[in-house]
Amino acid sequence: MTAGAMSPIRTADDLRGRSAVVLGLARSGVAACRFLTDHGALVTAYDRRDAATLSDAVEALAGRPIRLALGANDEAAAHLIEAADLLVTSPSVSARFPTTDPWLRRALAAAEARGTEIVSEVELFLRLTRARVLGITGTKGKTTATALTGAMLQAAGIGSVVGGNIGTPLLERATELGPDDWAVLELSELQLPTISRGADVALYTNVTEDHLDRHGSVEAYRAVKARLAELSARDGTIVLNRDDPGCRDLALRLPPDALAWYGLEPATDLAASVAADGWIMLHAERLLRSSEVRLPGRHMLANVLGAAAAASLAGAGRAAIAGAIAAFAGVPHRLETVIERRGVRWVNDSQATIPLASIAALEAFDGPVVLIAGGQGKGLDYGSFADAIVRRCRAAVLIGETAGELEGLIGGRVAVHRASSMAEAVGMAAGVALPGDVALLSPAAASFDMFADYAARGDAFRAAVADLEAAP
């Protein structure tokens, strides 16, 4: 028997008695399973991986009456989906993404046609929480901006939680947060198509291009990114980067009175800017000197400005914002200094998965760079990145699937080395780096050809650098 359409979920009480299937047992899937079960739903957890591989997730579900369908074949999983009246999907799973398996796209499309409710963990949180929302998105910089904004609100004593794409699911806290609390949410292009509620404050770091393998075109990707602003425009404020062409284009489809702007150039009409004398200005008043920002590069300074503007709109005072900026050393895998060894600064920027991010990383440092780059491509153009490598690098060590393409663009223009592992790449970089150089991992590509994710890639870099330090 197949499930039929039911009334949409509006409160936690609407979950009672629902037959729910959670697709994917990553962190958001585990949180969804626990929350749904605790509120009376009948939950089945599906993941193509087996129980042994998912032992930590299984342990996190212990003690709850959750049916596990781990390692189930495609046919069995399709039957589970057919019988459900609520589907909670991983952000990467969609009937509209060509990167989702064909059988699963068909099953989800059929469920939509039947009227089955399909939601993500973050969408369920947005429906059920009473908290005010500060949503942060962008092609790059959103994790740094989210973490820093959360630190600003915490320093100001404002009740707040930080989560979303930054790695902390908030669904289990949905019903405990009150209307005076703030939920600071990093929202990726995977999560944005699923949301139906806007934010009280929506911050954009930039809108360039990424994930063309999933969305097919720059226009389609930018349309997805625009969803947060469009949902927020009526009752909220959208904070945009005036230095970014994508943000300026986005503003054309939004009401001007819903917008607040920030930018790196001196301007009295910006909520946050940098004055000619180097002071960061917040609402046309001095906040702190830009030299006090510990994050390297102009793109990181732009993230600081955006976070300051957003936090001020959420009620944070100037002293708290300035103190949080001065104390903030960054987040892992984003221009993270690992160590300085024999005069060489080793920097982990594994999160740079597109050329634009790696170009910004190269420009963040004054001295010569020995670059480790390459990985799984996303269908993006590497021409400008290649020119930046030639302009800024002493040498490049290339890894992963895009190594051949990059070598074809920079070979003969800069010294090139090829490595088959991160340990080998770090060893090669150590062999050519000189005192005063920066040895930088900034791949300009996804990690999935060699690693589980960008964090695993960054951890491998850290480990290889640590092995250098331990060597005689």
Sequence-distant (6+) residues with CB within 8 A of 146 are 136, 162, 164, 166, 184, 185, 186
What number of residues does the chain have?
A: 472
d(CA 303, CA 306): 5
In single-letter form, the type of residue at position 328 comes to F
How is residue 366 annotated by DSSP? S
Question: According to the model, what pLDDT value does residue 1 have?
Answer: 41
Count Cβ neighbours within 10 Å for each residue of 132-158 and write b for 16 or more, e otherwise: bbbbbbbbbbbbbbbbbbbbbbbbbeb
- 451 φ/ψ sector (left φ>0, alpha ψ -120 to 50, else beta): beta
Tokens 């911050």 found at: 203
Question: According to the model, what pLDDT value does residue 168 have?
Answer: 85
Contact status, residue 200 vs residue 132, Cβ threshold 8 Å: yes
How is residue 395 annotated by DSSP? E
Question: According to the model, what pLDDT value does residue 193 have?
Answer: 86
How is residue 8 annotated by DSSP? P
- Please give the angle made by the CA atoms of 446, 138 and 257, to the nearest 5 degrees: 170
Count of beta carbons in the 10 Å neighbourhood of residue 22: 30
The whole-number mean pLDDT for each consecutive block of 10 residues of the chain, a chain of 472 residues, reads: 69 96 94 97 96 95 96 95 94 77 92 93 96 95 96 98 90 96 93 92 89 65 91 97 96 96 95 97 97 94 98 98 96 93 96 93 94 94 96 98 97 97 98 97 96 96 92 67
Going by DSSP bridges, is the β-strand pair 336-341/344-348 parallel, antiparallel, or unpaired? antiparallel
Beta pairing partners, 289: 279
Phi, psi of 43 (to 5 degrees): -110, 135
Element (H, E) at 318: helix 318-327
Question: According to the model, what pLDDT value does residue 472 have?
Answer: 62
Instruction: Return the CA Rg of the chain.
Output: 23
d(CA 176, CA 262): 33
Average pLDDT of the chain is 93
d(CA 380, CA 12): 42
- Domains (ranges, CATH) in the chain? 17-115 (3.40.50.720), 123-327 (3.40.1190.10), 336-470 (3.90.190.20)
Question: According to the model, what pLDDT value does residue 437 have?
Answer: 97
How is residue 446 annotated by DSSP? B
In single-letter form, the type of residue at position 395 comes to A
Question: According to the model, what pLDDT value does residue 94 have?
Answer: 77
Tokens 């020119």 found at: 387
3-state secondary structure of 25: coil
What is the tens place of the pLDDT at every residue in 341-354? 999 999 999 999 99
3-state secondary structure of 106: helix
Burial class (CB within 10 angstroms; exposed 0-12, middle 13-18, buried 19+) of 318:
middle
pTM: 0.87
Biggest distance spanned by C-alpha atoms of the chain: 71
Of 322, 357, 318, residue with least CA distance to 440: 357
What is the tens place of the pLDDT at every residue in 183-235? 999 998 888 988 999 999 999 999 986 655 565 577 888 888 999 999 999 99
How is residue 346 annotated by DSSP? E
d(CA 64, CA 46): 15
Tokens 């193509």 found at: 48
